[in-house]
């Protein structure tokens, strides 16, 4: 239902009302309108022709021309309406295609990043095990300092509102955030990150629960952790 | 309304005479004179029918709407406040309201069930907002501006006006975010207003 706030500006509405292509109504409509408000007939203007040309013939010719023009006008209008509909559909399809194309590009870029990490000569693999708060959860990280970090996890508990999971690279100095994780409805994560290349030698990787937007140092419960050997 | 001042300042004498004749015809209709309705019909049936046809895309339905609009004008002639706007603009509003009601009946969706009376109220003589007619020059400028609108802006605006859809319904139909729909309509209205006032 149209709400008041959805109403168009009255000036614009009037402009749109007057901007439509003008079409003559059928001649019989006038009598129909007049009959609808009461028993009356419209006064007719009687013309007295002085021409030698038979009046019935002129009337017949005019009627034939009018009928022809009416049919032609109707056909043209139908064609225009069809074309307008086709144009509208085409524009909407083009818009949908652009959206899909952007999605495909994102997917392709993501896949290229994963392949680059998994085939990197400096790639290290880290297995992460579920902790007491999520014993069924597990994770796996593939980390290349030159190409990035691919992280997968499964069976992570659903996040309460306002919370996120955060992945950490634990070093001898301090944990460094690698990125935020949003599991799907099944508790699965499949993400690609680009952590800073200058992270000191890693001793472990871990996943904690943190406030939305993440934090600079871990503060919440640890859900996953695993030793990093040679990473 | 500053646009009304702009319109009044450029109105040709013919339009002013027609508007005076319309007010007179309405007064005569209020006294039950059928000839006055015929006169009003002769002057305005074409734009009223054209708008109904644009909305409904069906000649028979458009004819029904024209009949209903003029019948409503006849019934409400005595209540129409001629000081509040131009009769021709009122007739277009009546026709649009009736046509949108028909579109909604066609869609036969439960959430439209309660909307008919609301739309009818908008066009009621006693509730008529200030309505003004545009000059032919303004109509030409608006048409040109409509053609130049980005396609999605134009489609969104047309769905709002000619299909009578709410912003939320347009968002659902186009599968676009509600905020995007609102932005498109706002931008389209800004461009049309610039065309109306000749500021662009």
Residues B35 and B106 in one domain: yes
Would you state the structure tokens that stand for residue A98, as one six-digit string? 């652009």
CATH at B114: 1.10.1740.10
Question: Spelled out in words, what is the top-level CATH class assigned to the domain A124-227?
Answer: mainly beta
CB B101 within 8 A of CB B120: yes
CB B156 within 8 A of CB B29: no
CATH at B157: 1.10.10.10
Residues near B140 by beta carbon (within 8 Å), at least 6 away in sequence: none
Q: Which of the listed residues B77, B101, B127 is the one where a domain comes to its end?
A: B127
Report the distance separating Cα B4 and Cα B22, nearest Å: 19
CB B128 within 8 A of CB B81: yes
Report the distance separating Cα A72 and Cα A53, nearest Å: 28
What is the full per-residue pLDDT of chain B (200 aa) written as tens digits?
334 433 443 445 556 777 888 888 999 999 999 999 999 999 999 999 999 999 998 999 999 999 999 999 999 998 887 776 788 889 999 999 999 999 888 876 544 444 443 344 445 554 445 566 788 888 888 889 988 888 888 888 988 998 888 999 888 888 888 999 999 999 999 999 998 887 76
Residues B123 and B173 in one domain: no
A19, A25, A74: residue with CB nearest B49: A25
A15, A22, A34: residue with CB nearest B47: A22
Report the distance separating Cα B99 and Cα A7, nearest Å: 16
Write out the residue range of the structural domain in which residue B117 sits: 2-127
Residues B71 and B93 in one domain: yes
User: B71 to chain A, minimum CA–CA distance in Å?
Assistant: 6
Task: Count the domains in chain B.
Answer: 2
Q: Which of the listed residues B76, B94, B127 is the one where a domain comes to its end?
A: B127
Report the distance separating Cα B50 and Cα B73, nearest Å: 18
Residues B118 and B29 in one domain: yes
- Least Cα distance to A114 among A79, A153, A83, A149 occurs for A149
Report the distance separating Cα B94 and Cα B114, nearest Å: 18
Contacts of A96 in chain B (CB under 8 A): 175
Q: Return residues 122-141 of B near A (CB < 8 Å).
A: 129-134, 138-139
Q: Which of the listed residues B100, B127, B154 is the one where a domain comes to its end?
A: B127
Residues B7 and B62 in one domain: yes
For chain A, what are the domain ranges? 56-119, 124-227
Contacts of B39 in chain A (CB under 8 A): none
Q: What is the DSSP string of A111-155?
A: HHHHHHHHT-TT-EEEEEEE-TT-TT-EEEEEEETTTEEEEEEE-
B115 contacts A2? CB cut-off 8 A: yes
pTM: 0.54
**Does A17 touch chain B if contact means CB atoms closer than 8 Å?**
yes
B50 contacts A20? CB cut-off 8 A: yes
Nearest CA in chain B to A32: B67
């Amino acid at each position: 239902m149209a709400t008041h706030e959805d109403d168009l500006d009255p000036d614009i509405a009037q402009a749109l009302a007057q901007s439509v292509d003008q079409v003559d109504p059928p001649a019989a409509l006038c009598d129909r309108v007049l009959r609808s408000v009461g028993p009356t007939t419209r006064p007719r203007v009687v013309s007295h022709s002085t021409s030698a040309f038979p009046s019935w013939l002129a009337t017949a010719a005019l009627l034939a021309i009018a009928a022809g023009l009416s049919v032609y006008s109707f056909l043209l209008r139908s064609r225009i309406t069809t074309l307008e509909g086709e144009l509208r559909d085409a524009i909407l399809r083009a818009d949908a295609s652009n959206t899909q194309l952007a999605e495909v590009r994102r997917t392709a870029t993501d896949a290229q990043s994963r392949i680059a990490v998994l085939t990197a000569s400096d790639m290290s693999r880290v297995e992460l095990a579920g902790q007491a708060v999520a014993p069924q959860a597990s994770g796996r990280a593939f980390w290349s300092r030159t190409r990035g970090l691919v992280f997968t996890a499964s069976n992570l508990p659903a996040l309460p509102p306002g919370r996120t999971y955060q992945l950490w690279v634990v070093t001898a100095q301090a944990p460094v955030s690698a990125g935020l994780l949003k599991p799907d409805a099944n508790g699965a994560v499949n993400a690609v990150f680009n952590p800073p290349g200058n992270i000191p030698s890693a001793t472990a990787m871990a996943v904690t629960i943190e406030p939305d937007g993440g934090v600079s140092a871990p503060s919440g419960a640890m859900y996953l952790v695993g030793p990093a050997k040679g990473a | 309304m500053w646009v009304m001042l702009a319109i009044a300042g450029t109105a040709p004498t013919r339009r002013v005479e027609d508007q005076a004749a319309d007010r007179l015809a309405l007064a005569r209709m209020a006294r039950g004179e059928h000839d006055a309705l015929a006169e009003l019909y002769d002057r305005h049936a074409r734009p009223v029918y054209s708008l109904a046809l644009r909305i409904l895309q069906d000649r028979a339905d458009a004819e029904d709407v024209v009949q209903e609009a003029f019948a409503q004008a006849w019934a409400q002639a005595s209540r129409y406040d001629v000081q509040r706007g131009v009769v021709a603009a009122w007739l277009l509003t009546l026709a649009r309201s009736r046509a949108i009601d028909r579109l909604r009946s066609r869609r036969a969706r439960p959430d439209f069930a309660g909307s008919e009376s609301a739309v009818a109220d908008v066009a009621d003589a006693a509730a008529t907002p200030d309505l003004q007619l545009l000059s032919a020059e303004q109509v030409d400028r608006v048409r040109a501006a409509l053609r130049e609108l980005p396609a999605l802006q134009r489609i969104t605006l047309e769905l709002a006006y000619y299909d009578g859809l709410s912003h939320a319904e347009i968002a659902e139909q186009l599968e676009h975010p509600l905020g995007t729909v609102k932005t498109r309509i706002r931008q389209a209205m800004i461009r049309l207003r610039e065309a109306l006032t000749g500021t662009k």
